[in-house]
Homo-oligomer: A and B are copies of this chain.
Amino acid sequence: MTPSLTAAQLAERHRDTLDTALETLRSRAYWSPHPEHPKAYGEEHGSLDAAQGLEAFTRLRDARFELGQPGTDGWTGGEVSPYGFELGITYPHADPDVLLPAMRDAVPAWRSAGPERRALVCLEILARIGAATHAFAHAVMHTSGQAFMMALQAGGPHAQDRGLEAVAYAYAEQTRTPGRAHWSKPQGKRDPLELDKEFVAVPRGISLLIGCNTFPTWNGFPGLFASLATGNPVLVKPHPRAVLPLAMTVRTAREVLAEAGFDPNLVALAAERDGEGIAKDLALRPEIRIIDYTGSTGFGDWLEANALQAQVYTEKAGVNTIVIDSTDDYRGMLGNLAFSLSLYSGQMCTTPQNLLIPRGGIDTDDGHKSYDEVVSDLAAAVDKLLGDDARAVGLLGAIVNPQVGERIDAASSMGEVALASRRVPHPEFPDATVRTPVIVKLDAARAEDATAYRSECFGPVSFAVAVDSTADAIALLRTTVREQGAMTVGGYTTSAEVETELADACLDECAQLSLNLTGGVFVNQTAAFSDFHGSGGNPAANAALTDGAFVANRFRTVEIRRPA
Identify the A interface with B (CB < 8 A): 25-30, 107-108, 111, 173, 176-178, 181-187, 193, 195, 197, 199-200, 202, 204, 304-305, 308, 503-504, 506-508, 510-521, 527, 530-532, 535-537, 544, 547-549, 552-553, 556-563
Look across to chain B and name the residue whose beta carbon is closest to the beta carbon of A304: B308
Known: A28-B181, A197-B28. A531 touches B559 (CB 8 A): yes
Look across to chain B and name the residue whose beta carbon is closest to the beta carbon of A305: B308
A534 to chain B, nearest CB (A): 9
Extra contacts besides A28-B177, A516-B563, A547-B557 (15): CB < 8 Å: A25-B176, A26-B176, A26-B178, A28-B199, A29-B182, A29-B184, A107-B508, A173-B548, A183-B527, A193-B521, A197-B531, A515-B560, A532-B557, A537-B558, A549-B553
- Nearest 10 CB-CB pairings of A with B: A537-B556, A28-B181, A549-B552, A548-B552, A549-B553, A552-B552, A515-B562, A30-B185, A513-B560, A535-B556
A326 to chain B, nearest CB (A): 15
Chain A interface SS verdict (over half)? mixed
A178 contact set on B, CB distance < 8 A: 26-28
In angstroms, Cα B28 to Cα A557, docked, is 13
A86 to chain B, nearest CB (A): 39
Contact between B559 and A532, CB atoms less than 8 A apart: yes
A512 contact set on B, CB distance < 8 A: 558-559
A512 to chain B, nearest CB (A): 5
Contact between A184 and B30, CB atoms less than 8 A apart: yes
In angstroms, Cα B135 to Cα A197, docked, is 34
In angstroms, Cα B186 to Cα A500, docked, is 30
A193 contact set on B, CB distance < 8 A: 519-521
In angstroms, Cα B556 to Cα A507, docked, is 10
In angstroms, Cα B183 to Cα A520, docked, is 13
A186 contact set on B, CB distance < 8 A: 30
Contact between B556 and A513, CB atoms less than 8 A apart: no
In angstroms, Cα B45 to Cα A311, docked, is 46
In angstroms, Cα B506 to Cα A111, docked, is 13
In angstroms, Cα B558 to Cα A239, docked, is 30
A562 contact set on B, CB distance < 8 A: 514-516
A507 contact set on B, CB distance < 8 A: 108, 111, 200, 202, 558
Contact between A560 and B506, CB atoms less than 8 A apart: yes
A337 to chain B, nearest CB (A): 14
In angstroms, Cα B559 to Cα A547, docked, is 12
